[in-house]
């Protein structure tokens, strides 16, 4: 395990934007080689369907020959699938983890390019992107509101933002059950696969500190986005949507 994760006070890191990234990036560096397998297993295979459904919504909405960033791209799952559906698009995957980017670059012959970077400070000039995609991205940034504001900055008027993520369920009973399950399952898989529970035990607290779906949609509206399509699963625990910048 990375020495920076030993004895780490998870709550302190999740509540302090200045410290959160210092924890999140080494953690994703550790899990990168097993990230794809973990996501499949941990979501009981549902992740693949959620991503397909998100791509069904976004692929037809991006302008011909458009420029796209897949933010917090991880190993490039969304970037590769969008490129396969839309060979005309110029897609760049951006992720804070060098190990995730190295894994994604191994498949770069399939179209997209990949660079290390920050979803909260996208490598794009103001008003230049036709689309941004982000799977489980904004929850992992130190400040999701600031990162969403950066998406609004970088998109062209009429550009689209396509996101998929877990949200903090609004209902207290369901929240306790949902997060309780994720906490226990995450700790177990973290111990079994990486010798330390925190690497997946992080998921539940990261959701607990993230916004509800209503808060997310409110922030999108405040930033001038219009939600064109959205789907919700697990009683508000997961949602994907496409929002267009006015």
Ligand X SMILES: C[S@@+](CC[C@H](N)C(=O)[O-])C[C@H]1O[C@@H](n2cnc3c(N)ncnc32)[C@H](O)[C@@H]1O
Give the binding site for ligand X (CB under 6 A): 21, 24, 28, 39, 72-74, 77-78, 94-97, 100, 118-120, 135-137, 140-141
Q: Which of residues 168 and 173 has its CB atom nearest to ligand X in the complex? A: 168
Q: Which of residues 166 and 172 has its CB atom nearest to ligand X in the complex? A: 166
Q: Which of residues 92 and 140 has its CB atom nearest to ligand X in the complex? A: 140
Helices (H) and strands (E) in the chain, counts: 11, 7
> Least Å distance between CB 172 and ligand X?
25
> Least Å distance between CB 141 and ligand X?
4
Q: Strand, coil or helix: what is 99?
A: helix
Q: Which of residues 62 and 73 has its CB atom nearest to ligand X in the complex? A: 73
> Least Å distance between CB 239 and ligand X?
14
Please tell me the number of Cα atoms within 13 Å of 179 on its side-chain side.
Answer: 19
**Beta sheet of 129-135, edge-to-edge order:** 113-116, 90-95, 67-71, 129-135, 155-166, 238-245, 225-233
> Least Å distance between CB 173 and ligand X?
26
């Amino acid at each position: 395990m990375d020495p920076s994760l030993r004895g780490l006070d998870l709550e302190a890191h999740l509540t302090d934007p200045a410290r959160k990234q210092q924890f999140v990036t080494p953690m994703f560096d550790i899990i990168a080689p097993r990230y794809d397998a973990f996501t499949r297993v941990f979501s009981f295979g549902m992740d693949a369907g959620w991503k397909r459904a998100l791509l069904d919504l976004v692929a037809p909405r991006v302008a011909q020959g458009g420029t796209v960033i897949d933010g917090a791209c991880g190993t490039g799952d969304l970037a590769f699938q969008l490129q396969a559906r839309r060979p005309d698009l110029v897609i760049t995957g951006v992720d804070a983890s060098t190990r995730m980017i190295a894994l994604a670059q191994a498949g770069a012959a399939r179209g997209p390019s990949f660079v290390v970077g920050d979803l909260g400070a996208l490598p794009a000039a103001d008003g230049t992107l036709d689309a941004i995609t982000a799977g489980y991205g904004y929850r992992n940034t130190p400040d999701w509101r600031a990162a969403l504001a950066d998406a609004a900055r970088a998109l062209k008027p009429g550009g689209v933002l396509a996101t998929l993520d877990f949200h903090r369920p609004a209902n207290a009973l369901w929240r306790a059950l949902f997060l309780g399950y994720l906490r226990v399952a995450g700790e177990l898989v973290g111990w079994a696969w990486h010798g330390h529970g925190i690497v997946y035990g992080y998921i539940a607290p990261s959701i607990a500190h993230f916004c509800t779906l209503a808060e997310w949609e409110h922030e999108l509206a405040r930033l001038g986005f219009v939600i064109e399509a959205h789907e919700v699963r697990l009683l508000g625990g997961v949602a994907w949507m496409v929002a267009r910048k006015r």
